[in-house]
Structure 1
Amino acid sequence: MTVELINAKPPEIDHWPDLIPLSAPSLPGLDPSLLPGWAGEYAHALAAETETSPELAVGMILATCSSTAARSLRVELNEGHSEPCNLWIVAALPPGNRKSAVQAAATAPLVSWEQNQASALNAEINRVSSERMTMEARAKELRAKSAKEKGESRAREFAQEVADIEANLPDVPKPPQIWTADVTPERLGALLAEQNECMAWLSSEGGIFELLNGRYSNGIPNLDLVLKAHSGDADRVDRGSRPAVFLKNPLLTIGLSPQPDVLRGLSSKPGFRGRGLLGRFLYLLPPSLIGYRKLTPNPVPKYLTENYAAGIYAMLNWQPEESSEGANIPHTLRLSSAAAEEHHAFALHIEGQMRPGGKLGNFTDWAGKSPGAALRLAGVLHAIRHAHGTPWSTEIPKETMDSALSIMATITQHSLAALDLMGADSDTGEAKVVWDWICRTRNERFTLRNAFEALKGTFQRVKNLQPAIDILEERGYIKVVRIPNEGPGRPPSPLICVRPEIVETWQ
């Protein structure tokens, strides 16, 4: 294809089909001020420092605060219905948007708290470990004597001493662990058992979906424990030759910031939609600010970082209640009558939207859980507001419920777009990549070869690019003009023309 042909008058195209939108819907932003005090202030400053959309910082800070609140609090709606405070949040952004930096900043207090706790326990761990090794060595010595002893009575005495020693072996203290970024479902069960049945999975990647889809279990999905750990249902984890782990009330918080492509096609994974996994997440699709950033330093003020860390530490240091049997149980948060009325109105609205033909009629798996998610959000916001006190000693007010419902209104629109994305095929996503390039370069005519040369970092061969071109043509964005071969050799690369109405908007 020659430059002259590209620059020539465009060929006459008799008919353009109706334009079928390709881009994602315009989604509302999430105001950091909906988070109380120190959390909202830090979210605003963190978004400014990293030049990222506030939804990312808000989502990751909510996940961090949820991982602390879930250890000590539940929200009661009415007698017989309460929700834990663990949230599952996904904020998906393309690469290059400083997701890891935001995630690291949001979770930094968890890391430092764990390190401080481990340092404080180090001497005790060493002491108990030494004592245990000494007792194990003594048991080993007595077992050897028992095996060699010819007298049956004396052998039984040695064996009983071994049994007594082993029955009294001290447990080596384990430093508290609040979160993990990569763990198999089987190991997750052990972690929950070791850490008072409460754990958070916080990561800037989406590897959890590969693990749950059976990366280490021959492609067999492994969803049971994770699903139960959303609501706190009892579970038993059998781990081969090791003793089974019994979990009475496991709770898992999840905070992820993967690439949007990780979400694409998740609906087709066995059990992900049908068993309700995807319906348990609260999704955010923040816009990318790449290309519009000022790239000038704007660090978070030190006092905001310190206030944020102090709030997280205070929540981590809450002491749970004790049952009559001496077991730890969470404190109960209760709603004020006005907050309960607001929540009831929200639940009724969602119920109506789930009717056939309603806005949420095709998303009942997600929408049916949104009133419970709103309760959890209200609990986390209340916990943030009273981090340095005792949130269980005061009711959740209407103002806090209003903030939770405002967050849910935004999350609802983002979640519907995310669920649509999960059902989309990869070709549609690649078509968006090609269309973004067309809009950036504003080439109203170009060849298929031109597009491939510009995008070969994404498409390894021309044939890999073709499905994206086909989708753009089917949706009315472009027309592909086949140029006849007028001589020997391979035919010219097809000429691609952009829809004239779109070209006019570039002027």
Structure 2
Amino acid sequence: MTNSTPLHVVRPQPVDNPQDAPPHNIEAEQCVLGAVMLSPAALAEVRPLLDATDFYRPAHARIWETVCALADRGASADPLAVGAAIGVRNLAKIGGAPYLHTLISQVPAAANAAYWAHMVRDLAYARTVAETGTRLVQLAGAADGDPAELRARVAAEVAAVTGADRRGWPDPTPLSSVPDLPAFPVGCLPDWAAEQAACVADLTQTPVDLAGGLALAALAVAAGGNVTVNAGAWCEPTNLFLVMVLPPGNRKSEVYKAMTAPIRAAERTLADLASPRIAEAVIARKLAEGKAEHAERAALDHPDDPTFVVDASEARLTLEKTRVPAEPRLFGGNDSTTEKVTSRLAEQNGRYAVLAPEGGKLFSIAGGRYSGNVDIGVFLSGHAGEEIRTERMTRTGETIDAATLTLGVCLQPGVLAGLGDTPEFREQGLLGRLLIAMPESLLGRRNARPDPIPPHVTATYERTLTALVLSLRPFGDPDATPATLTFTGEAQDAVIDLLEATEPRFRPGVGDLAHMTDWGGKLVGAVVRFAALLHLGEHLRDGYGRPIDLATFHRAVQLGEYFTAHAQAAYDAIGADPAVNHARTVLEWARRTATTRFTARDLMRGPLKGRARKVTDTEPPLRVLETHGWIRRLPAPPSVRGGQPATAYETHPDLAEDPS
């Protein structure tokens, strides 16, 4: 037997009628046994697929059991060891020692053992079906007139032969399952913020991820637009886009009130401080308006005197330069829209935030739910600290030299999943900017008698955060240049190390971020932003004058790891990974059509028609299904002239019960 000779069914003799022999293939059994005696690796590969009852020849079953027993003891399973274990008397019954060596000589390549093992297993199943048919005939002949009992016995026989054969199959993982995600590393926050977040989470019986994420958002409100951080080859602003995902009933509003109270207090203080300046500006504006009107009337009365025209022009220019500053506003809430956010950024010198326990409206409007037009420019520029120019039909356009927007919003799981329904969110880069947390809800496990928050914890948090916001806010100076933070030498080296460690994660088919490079490409930048915020929170008085140290950067890396794990789960929930979407399509097709085996070309003609134009396009979804345990690659048959056949896959026996 050679590689170019396909296996054929051998009908053992003697039989009265060769056509009556049960399905079997002696050569396939011989090749399996020879391969497992030659190669321990072959035994490890095929053992989950077979047991002794799958062999047609009893002698082959005896050899298989002996090989497995030797392997279980850690002993060699070569022909000499197998013969010695069987014993001289029993060995003669199976053809003697020469037959064991014949089995080895039958093997063209041990690497093909899995192919022959599948053939042996499939033929064994065919024999079981034939035996079941015989028993059904016997049941029909022995029926005593009780149809209910007959039906029950027939159903039992049929169930036995149609039940799932799970040998060699692991338990599959539903494609929609959310893995165990890490809890928010609240200990990475500055002590005063960490204690408040932990206590608020305990009092409200909510995941600490919500309060911890809002603590980060609060730091970003204080620093965003006022501080940048130099990472060596590039600079990052210090604003963040934080999205926490929780279902209704999780007391999100209470957490928001507690964690944003200092920002509200700082906003009131800024408003009080700005009141005299605003009042002066209002008077100056009115005076300028009066002078401009008077000068224009004089110019109209003396059209031939250029002096009056010059005076009118100067008065009009003075009026244009005399602006009334807006009342300080640090953030908006649930009613924020993209247009409102843009206008607020313009009037607040490019510094604004949206902190809302229900942020779905903001994303719905941005996605064009009501207007039909996707409008996410303010998010893209506002995340990067870029210039924004808006054109208005009814009033003067707005120019924002450096827009820095912070988001700290909560979404319901259904809203998160719906983000994938707007392709522009990913294509234009919005999804890649979101730091998403998907904590497990505590509903059903909440303590009705939590401990109150110690007064000194809340007092310290409110006093510290309020002071931080006020100290970083360039009050009265819209043209103030943001301060720039740097890293120590060790921390700067750690930034480069993180860049090097992250890069391989983008490799197609290998890296865990290969399907979400839009998000992963901003991971190191996010960590740099975290480091700056933690640094400012730790060094309230002299943060500007000292570089970010290595310990602070390591805590920022922990936050990055947390958000990476949650982003991967979020992308799965959003359906942002095309491979996962296509894998779900294939899984549903196989379940609906009861498909047990298929090739890549079957997918191109079936469920992925129009989506996969070449065989390589099917590889990502096939890889997802393999790693989740829903399909497995069938071993290729020994090569024959004319090239290799298409790779085939078989589906999990439990596919009909797919919970995903």
- Per the alignment, residue 199 of structure 1 pairs with 352
Q: Compute the displacement of 1:141 (Å).
A: 5.8
TM alignment of 1:180-329, pairs within 5 A = 180-181=332-333, 182-205=335-358, 206-215=360-369, 218-318=371-471, 327-329=479-481
In structure 2, C-alpha distance between the alignment counterparts of 1:360 and 1:354, rounded to whole Å: 5
Q: How does 1:64-213 map to 2 (within 5 A)?
A: 64-78=218-232, 80-137=233-290, 139-140=292-293, 143=296, 149=301, 152-153=303-304, 161-169=311-319, 170-181=322-333, 182-205=335-358, 206-213=360-367
In structure 2, distance between residues paired with 1:424 and 1:235? 28
Q: Provide TM-score, normalisation by structure 1.
A: 0.74
Select the residue among 533, 554, 568 that pairs with 1:380.
533
Alpha-carbon deviations, 1:217-273, whole Å to 9, x = none? x31111223201111222311122322222222111111111111110312303111
The alpha-carbon distance between structure 1 residues 288 and 202, as it changes in their structure 2 partners (threshold 3 A), is same
Query: Kindly tell me: are residues 251 and 128 of structure 1, through their superposed partners in 2, closer, same or farther at Cα, counting changes over 3 Å?
Result: closer
User: What are the Cα deviations for residues 423-472 of structure 1, in whole angstroms up to 9, with x where unaligned?
Assistant: 189xx9xxxxxxxxxxxxxxxxxxxxxxxxxxxxxxxxxxxxxxxxxxxx
Cα pair distance change 1:227/1:133, threshold 3 Å: same
| 1:193 positional shift | 2.4
Amino acid across the alignment from 1:76:
N
Partner of residue 35, structure 1? 189
Choose from 2, 22, 25 the match for 2:179. 25
**8 Å Cα contact 2:433-2:519 kept in structure 1:** yes
CA distance in 1, matches of 2:291, 2:180: 70
Secondary structure of the equivalent of 1:26?
A: coil
> What corresponds to 1:456 in structure 2?
none
1:336 aligns with 2:472: no
Q: Secondary structure at the match of 2:515?
A: coil
> For structure 1, which runs of at least 5 residues remain unmatched after alignment?
1-8, 429-474, 477-498, 503-507
For the residues of structure 2 that align with 1:139 and 1:345, how far apart are their CA atoms?
A: 61
More strand by share: 1
SS in 1 for 2:363: helix
Give distance in 2, aligned partners of 1:200 and 1:240: 26
Deviation string, structure 1 residues 179-210 (Cα, Å, up to 9, x no partner): 12244434433322222212112111222211
Check whether the contact 2:325–2:347 (CA below 8 A) recurs between aligned residues: no
More helix by percentage: 2
- Offset at 1:134? 4.9
Instruction: Give the Å deviation of 1:364.
Output: 1.1
Specify the code of the residue in structure 2 equivalent to 1:74: T
Distance in structure 2 (CA, Å) of the matches to 1:331 and 1:175: 24
Q: Which has the larger radius of gyration?
A: 2
Residue of structure 2 in register with 1:489 after alignment? none
**Post-superposition offset of 1:320:** 7.6
The RMSD of aligned alpha carbons is: 3.1
The answer as to whether partners of 1:72 and 1:318 remain within 8 angstroms in 2 is no
> What does residue range 344-423 of structure 1 map to in structure 2 within 5 Å?
344-357=496-509, 358-387=511-540, 389-423=541-575
CA drift of 1:138 comes to 5.7
**Measured at CA, do residues 424 and 391 of structure 1 come closer, stay the same or move farther in structure 2, by a change above 3 Å?**
closer
Q: Structure 1 residues 242 and 257 mapped into 2: Cα distance closer, same or farther (>3 Å)?
A: same
2:205 alignment partner in structure 1 = 51
Report the 3-state secondary structure (helix = DSSP H, G, I; strand = E; otherwise coil) of the residue aligned with 1:202.
Answer: strand
1:94-149 deviation per Cα after TM superposition (whole angstroms, max 9, x unaligned)? 000011111222111111111122133334433432443355356446656765x4
- Corresponding residue SS for 1:168: helix
CA distances 1:309-360 after superposition (whole Å, capped 9, x unpaired): 22222222335899xx994222111112222233323222221111112211
Please, which runs of 5 or more residues in structure 2 have no aligned partner?
Answer: 1-151, 581-628, 631-655
CA distance in structure 1 between the aligned counterparts of 2:478 and 2:263, rounded to whole angstroms: 27
Percent identical among aligned pairs is: 33
